[in-house]
Amino acid sequence: MWKRTIQGKTLTFHLAGIHNQNFLMRDEETGSFWQQVSGECVAGPMRGAQLERVHNDELTVARFRAESPGGQVLLGEPGYSDSYERDWEPGIDKLPTVVDTRDSPLPPRALVAGVAVGGKARAYEASRLAAERVILDELGEVPVVLGRAGDACCEHSTAASMARRCCSRLPMASICATRRRGACGTSGAARSRGRRRPRGCV
Amino acid sequence: MPSHRRPFVLLGLGALLVALATLVTPLWVMRPFRPQGPTELAVALWVLRFGPWLLLGAGLMAVAAVVRAWPGGWWRRIGAVVMLVLTLGAGMLSRINVFEKMFEPMPAPRFAGASESGLPDAAIVMAVRVGEQARAYPVEVMAYHHVLNDVVGDAAIVVTY
């Protein structure tokens, strides 16, 4: 999710292409092309510009309702209900990938929580996070703590406060992962699943 | 007379070739489930950006071919006009955004309260909060449409999945 106001212009984006299984967007105003997963402008008059990330959480609609009683939920377009698949991930898991992961111990579509900080990136398998609850690690010079908040507490603030309790003096990048997929985090957390391109090492 | 025939045939075929290249290059390079190298991607995006100019050139060439062929009799006229029609056809097809044909955009998104959304409790949403306003975008909807331009609070955002 990205802010679409940049350099004084508010852009309107359209789906416009594919780059290594991650989609490209094109804005109406300048005709530039933008990579979805990184927010970087890859071609056109704004090439090199970087969209600002908007923090968002992936959570169940029940939890959203509890946390934001006045919140609004996007409705599907009438007539498109056949196109909306609730359980499409098993199908996606079988599709080929364009990233060579033969050197990796993980299968190409393994669900991971990604942390990018201090110019380095590392991926943590979601199933390991689920089993270990808290992982302490170091990325470059930066100490990192990953906490898995279960279904009952998957929100950034929970993970952050948990991390702070565990190791209050550390600069940290915290991430929490839900049972189903990587969820919320800071410091450029990136997920790699489905059509998204893995960023960093897997 | 070859000296008469050649310019109009070359012009017409050249026009058709440019229009076909404009149509096919981005589709060929950006096929799903294949890697896109940096150079081929740059070429495909260049063709998309400058497609209208390429097509304008192709159209002018095709018209010029008809003008040249006209004094040469009916067969030449028909040949040149067929190439013009094919050129215009390829040009019009190349202006279609196939990605938005496959995954229709949502220009006028509608919202409801979380209780009225009709989603089962376990449905996953992407939630964002700006100031006092909180909005959630169901993954099942975004996984189809992929791109949604929205305004939450005072922030213009693009929701992507």
For residue A179, the model assigns a pLDDT of: 28
For the segment A166-179, the average pLDDT, to the nearest whole number, is: 31
How confident is the prediction for chain B on average, in pLDDT? 93
Strand-pairing partners, residue A29, are none
B52-111 residues touching A, CB cutoff 8 A:
97, 99-100, 103-106, 109-111
Model confidence at B31: pLDDT above 80: yes
Question: What does the alpha-carbon distance between residue A178 and residue B127 come to, in Å, rounded to a whole number?
Answer: 14
Q: Find chain A residues with C-beta within 8 A of B155's C-beta.
A: 3, 5, 54
Q: Find chain B residues with C-beta within 8 A of A51's C-beta.
A: 158
Q: At what angle do helices B38-69 and B2-29 cross, to 10 degrees?
A: 150
**Does B158 sit within 8 Å of A11, measured CB to CB?**
yes
- A8 vs A196, higher pLDDT: A8
CA A46 remoteness from chain centre: 24
On whether the CB atoms of residues A179 and A130 are closer than 8 A, the answer is: yes
For the segment A106-111, the average pLDDT, to the nearest whole number, is: 84
Confidence band for B5, pLDDT divided at 50, 70 and 90: low
The angle at the Cα of A195, spanning A193 to A199, to the nearest 5 degrees, equals 60
For the segment A67-78, the average pLDDT, to the nearest whole number, is: 94
For the segment A146-154, the average pLDDT, to the nearest whole number, is: 57
Q: Find chain A residues with C-beta within 8 A of B41's C-beta.
A: 19, 42
- Does the reported pTM lie above 0.90? no
Pairing of strands B155-160, A120-125: unpaired
Is any Cβ of chain A less than 8 angstroms from the Cβ of B151? no
Question: What does the alpha-carbon distance between residue A134 and residue A174 come to, in Å, rounded to a whole number?
Answer: 10
Q: Which of A93-102, A161-170, B57-66, B139-148 has the lowest mean pLDDT?
A: A161-170
Confidence band for A86, pLDDT divided at 50, 70 and 90: confident
Question: What does the alpha-carbon distance between residue B77 and residue B106 come to, in Å, rounded to a whole number?
Answer: 46
Question: What does the alpha-carbon distance between residue B147 and residue B26 come to, in Å, rounded to a whole number?
Answer: 20
Tokens 């998204």 correspond to A196
On whether the CB atoms of residues A163 and A145 are closer than 8 A, the answer is: yes
Structure tokens at B140: 């099942």
Confidence band for B4, pLDDT divided at 50, 70 and 90: low
Confidence band for A195, pLDDT divided at 50, 70 and 90: very low
Model confidence at B136: pLDDT above 80: yes
Residue A72 makes CB contacts below 8 A (sequence gap 6+) with B111, B112, B113, B114, B133, B134, B135, B136
DSSP, res A149: -
For residue B19, the model assigns a pLDDT of: 97
Question: What does the alpha-carbon distance between residue B129 and residue B134 come to, in Å, rounded to a whole number?
Answer: 4
Q: Which amino acid is at B93?
A: L
Please report the ipTM that was assigned to this predicted complex.
0.92
Would you mind telling me the total number of residues written for chain A in this entry? Answer: 202
Range among A118-132, A140-154, B124-138 with highest mean pLDDT value: B124-138
Question: What does the alpha-carbon distance between residue A157 and residue A164 come to, in Å, rounded to a whole number?
Answer: 10
Q: Find chain A residues with C-beta within 8 A of B99's C-beta.
A: 15-18, 23
Model confidence at A200: pLDDT above 70: no
For residue B144, give Cα distances in angstroms to A64, A192, B141, B161. 21, 18, 6, 8
For residue A26, the model assigns a pLDDT of: 97
Question: Mapping DSSP to helix (H, G, I), strand (E, B) and coil, where does residue B116 land?
Answer: helix
Residue in A1, A14, A60 nearest the CB of B128:
A1
Question: What does the alpha-carbon distance between residue B63 and residue B158 come to, in Å, rounded to a whole number?
Answer: 42
For the segment A136-146, the average pLDDT, to the nearest whole number, is: 88
For residue A36, the model assigns a pLDDT of: 95
Model confidence at A163: pLDDT above 80: no
Structure tokens at B145: 């449409």
Structure tokens at B151: 């305004």
Structure tokens at A17: 């292409």
